[in-house]
Amino acid sequence: MRLAPTETIAAVATPPGRGGVGIIRISGPASRLIAERLFRSGRPEFAGLKPYRLHHGTFHAPAGKLLDEGLAAFMPAPGSYTGEDTVELYCHGSPAVLRSVLEAVFSLGARPAGPGEFTKRAYLSGRLDLSQAEAVAELIAARSQAQADLALTRLTGSMGDAARELGSALADLMAGICLAVDFPEEEVECLPKAAFAEGVAAVLARIDALLEAGRRAGPFRTGTRAALFGRVNAGKSSLFNALLGTDRAIVADLPGTTRDYLEESLDLDGLPVRLTDTAGLRPTQDAIETIGKERGMARAGRAELGLYVVDGSLPFVPDPEAEAVIAALTPAKILAVVTKADLPPAEPSPRDALAARGIAAVAVSSRTGFGLTGLVAAMRAMLTRDAGLPEPATPAPSDREAAALTAARAELAGLLADIAAGIPYDIMGVRLETASTLLADLTGETTPDDVLNAVFDRFCIGK
């Protein structure tokens, strides 16, 4: 049973900084009383905050000082975000104004809200399950439309629906074997072992489908990594800047300009990518350059895609350090970028030399922009080769949910083995109960307090 909080909390619900509007959210049993002591309407017929209506007026400190002019809205329980009485004050978006109004709210009995406390109250009141609460945090943090879509799918309750369907299927199986456990001396019909195994296998298949959806959506949810590497003056930093659309890296004809790796975020049509520019490869006695080169090569070797940058105006000469990165990633995860396509190409062609080794190549000119569109398409195709967004109605589990599903799957796989081995029904029932508990963790029905706190501590204050 979820216990309803008794304290009233308040916080600024809009991002830090200046803006046209700033919102202060108050939630709890005293929220309406506090708001009505702060708010004054200019209408002579005003008789208090009416539910679900915007009221225009002014905000005043308890001593009477004018704090701001704005709007107030009251949402009574249970029809609010938190499921309890909630008021939102729409102020001008000055940090000083918001601070003064919030201090007045605190002086009237509210306390500061903790990270994610409004959403935690929505969970405690039953307005959201734990999966939906996690989706709220993911939606706020979304950096791409794909990430927002993944969060919105779970916010609709699709993961909770899936968890309840799986739990219901396991409950039916449990009911089918309980007869044999509860009435061992009676001649009662019990679920045949073949039907028992078939039911368990059906639940396993559904869990596998959810886990596969999460695996395929992983690059879109958490992002992926690509790294530029190659010899000095091959055009890595120019390409880095061209892909980002800004002069992030210093570009010069002097070899060794980039002495350490640089990283920036790149959005490839909804796919978040962490792009790394590494120091150019060449023999050197410079200790600092050597360290920077080693760090860059380590990053490149851990990337999901290595962009092997080769100067297309010069004959191709394999580099031992580049070969080490290719070996670490394998050619299937290497895309060669033959730069300086605006210059006369070398003979023989570097692209032919790379193709002979099974390495795909794209020709580009960072100066003119030639080939960049094709490069971006090739990068996205290679990074999403084993990935993809699930159908809108199919939830992709979070890391926490995937862990619970994986643990439940292990129990059910062990149960299939127990059925084949002829283990007694009462012993097999323990595996069913364990799997059911793990699946209930998806929605927070049986989740320990420390796990709940860890989920909500990741939220921003005000949500």
Which residue ranges does the chain devote to CATH 3.30.1360.120?
9-128
pLDDT of residue 254: 46
Residue type, 95: P
Secondary structure (DSSP) of 318-366: --HHHHHHHHHH-GGGEEEEEE-TTSPPPSS-HHHHHHTTT-EEEE--T
Which residue ranges does the chain devote to CATH 1.20.120.430?
140-219+398-444
pLDDT of residue 184: 52
pLDDT of residue 180: 54
Label residue 64 exposed, middle or buried (CB < 10 Å: 0-12, 13-18, 19+).
exposed
pLDDT of residue 422: 86
pLDDT of residue 183: 53
Q: How, if at all, do strands 54-60 and 66-75 pair?
A: antiparallel
Whole-angstrom distance, CA of residue 309 vs CA of residue 234: 6
Residue 90: CB atoms within 10 Å: 18
Q: Find residue 305's DSSP bridge partners.
A: 226
pLDDT of residue 283: 57
Contacts 24+ apart (CB under 8 A), 408-412: 408/166, 408/207, 408/434, 408/435, 408/438, 408/439, 409/204, 409/207, 409/208, 409/211, 411/435, 411/438, 412/200, 412/203, 412/204, 412/207
> Domain 9-128 belongs to what topology?
Gyrase A; domain 2 (3.30.1360)
Which residue ranges does the chain devote to CATH 3.40.50.300?
224-264+274-383
Contact in structure between 455 and 117 (CB atoms under 8 Å): no
Homologous superfamily (CATH) for 224-264+274-383: P-loop containing nucleotide triphosphate hydrolases (3.40.50.300)
Instruction: Say what the pTM is.
Output: 0.76
User: Domain 140-219+398-444's class?
Assistant: mainly alpha
Q: Find residue 335's DSSP bridge partners.
A: 307, 360
* Per-residue tens of pLDDT for the chain, all 463 residues: 455 678 999 999 998 888 899 999 999 999 999 999 999 998 888 989 999 999 999 999 999 999 999 999 999 999 999 999 999 999 999 999 999 999 999 999 999 999 999 999 999 999 999 999 999 989 988 888 888 999 999 999 999 999 999 999 998 888 877 655 555 555 545 678 888 899 999 999 999 999 999 999 988 888 899 989 888 888 888 898 888 887 654 444 544 445 456 888 888 888 889 998 887 665 555 565 556 656 766 677 688 898 999 999 998 888 888 888 888 888 888 999 999 999 998 888 888 888 888 888 999 998 899 999 999 999 999 998 877 777 777 899 999 999 999 999 999 999 999 999 988 877 888 899 999 999 998 888 776 677 677 777 777 777 7
